[in-house]
Chains A and B, each alone.
Chain A
Amino acid sequence: MVRASPQASRLADASVLVVGVGALGCAAADALATAGLGRLSLVDPDRVERSNLHRQLLHCHADLGRHKVESAAERLHARHPTLALTAAAVRFDAANAAALVRDQACVIDATDGIATKFLINDLAVALGTPLVHGGIVRFQGQLLTILPGASACYRCLFGAPPEDGSVPSCQEAGVLGSLAGTIGTLQAAEAIRLVTGTGALLTDRLLTYDALAGRWRHVRLRRNPSCPACARITSPVAVRAGNR
């Protein structure tokens, strides 16, 4: 728990949306709640399956068949009874994005699937809401924070989704469970820095983690001046000193 301080107050007053309550989302949600976040919203249409249990730590055997947002909210509430929770068992999409993102300090992308990651990027950027992107597969993790109109977005980085099936999901390729905990917790740390206004964010740089080699790397990113998602943003999210 963060001790009483202006930063703790800002965190207690803030709301964060976690899209996807699987391996990344469970780690991120629990870390945010533990840090003292005031309001947490969870979105995921999926139900708990047996194969989820050894990595998705907010679900257990008794939850099999339940919506993930329900089991995760129940476990979070048991551990953090003062946390205000909202759970929506729906798929985040263009039709519901504005309502789900309203009043959120940031969105955490904890989804599985490359097309979904582009969709979340585009919607968060269009709505002017900061986004913390995380991706994992096998032994590789990636992390990036996006301040719409002020820093490079996911589409600046990768342009367009590949054809279906050419980038495997965790479900297809597998993932090291502890890697999900590592990247999900780091997503929470990004959201906490963003909400509290402390430290420097992972903007305009992609953090990669190679869990086989135990190696962290950064590569520099630049905004694409013709990016279809963010090039036309006229009211960029304010960038704090130290972020660039």
Chain B
Amino acid sequence: MPVQVRIPTPLRKFTGGAESVPASGTTVAAIVQDVESRHPGLKERICDDAGKIRRFVNVYVNGEDIRFLGSLDTPVKEGDEISIVPAIAGGTSVHAGA
């Protein structure tokens, strides 16, 4: 069973609306690269130009923040769940359009 990557709603335009996508790899970096190969554009939303996780995006392996594990080198194994949690801004305002 591959790793499952949970996609937050703001980034689902890159996955055709899929809430979760499978990916293969032995580290978070490899997973991100694999996801990018299947869903182009997603990596840029997660990583900056230097290839590091953006400051306003957090990545979790089985609910643990990878910053406290091994960052992009954090090992993953089959059956793990990776969650991408971006900062979201809204609160007061309104327009439909979503």
A contacts, CB < 8 Å to B: 20-25, 44, 46, 51-52, 54-56, 109-114, 117, 134-142, 157-162, 166-171, 173-177, 180, 206, 208, 210-213, 215, 217-222
Residues of chain B within 8 A of A138, CB atoms compared: 9-10, 98
Q: Are B9 and A170 in contact (CB under 8 A)?
A: no
17 A-B residue pairs with CB within 8 Å: A20-B92, A24-B92, A136-B90, A138-B10, A158-B56, A159-B56, A161-B56, A162-B55, A167-B86, A167-B87, A168-B10, A169-B89, A170-B94, A173-B98, A206-B85, A210-B9, A222-B68
Residue of A nearest to B8 (CB): A140
Residues of chain A within 8 A of B19, CB atoms compared: 210, 212-213, 215
Of residues B55, B86, B88, which shows the largest number of chain A Cβ atoms within 10 Å of its Cβ? B88
Q: Are A221 and B65 in contact (CB under 8 A)?
A: yes
A149 to B91, CA, bound (A): 25
Q: Which of B6, B10, B68, B98 contacts A176 (CB 8 A)?
A: B98
Residues of chain A within 8 A of B86, CB atoms compared: 167
Q: Which of A52, A166, A210 contacts B94 (CB 8 A)?
A: A52
Residues of chain B within 8 A of A206, CB atoms compared: 85
A104 to B86, CA, bound (A): 29
Residue of A nearest to B96 (CB): A174
Q: Are A117 and B65 in contact (CB under 8 A)?
A: no
A113 to B90, CA, bound (A): 6
> Beyond the given A20-B92, A52-B94, A136-B91, could you list 13 further A-B residue pairs with CB under 8 A, ordered by the A residue number?
A25-B92, A110-B92, A160-B55, A162-B87, A166-B56, A168-B10, A170-B95, A171-B95, A175-B90, A219-B58, A220-B63, A220-B64, A222-B65
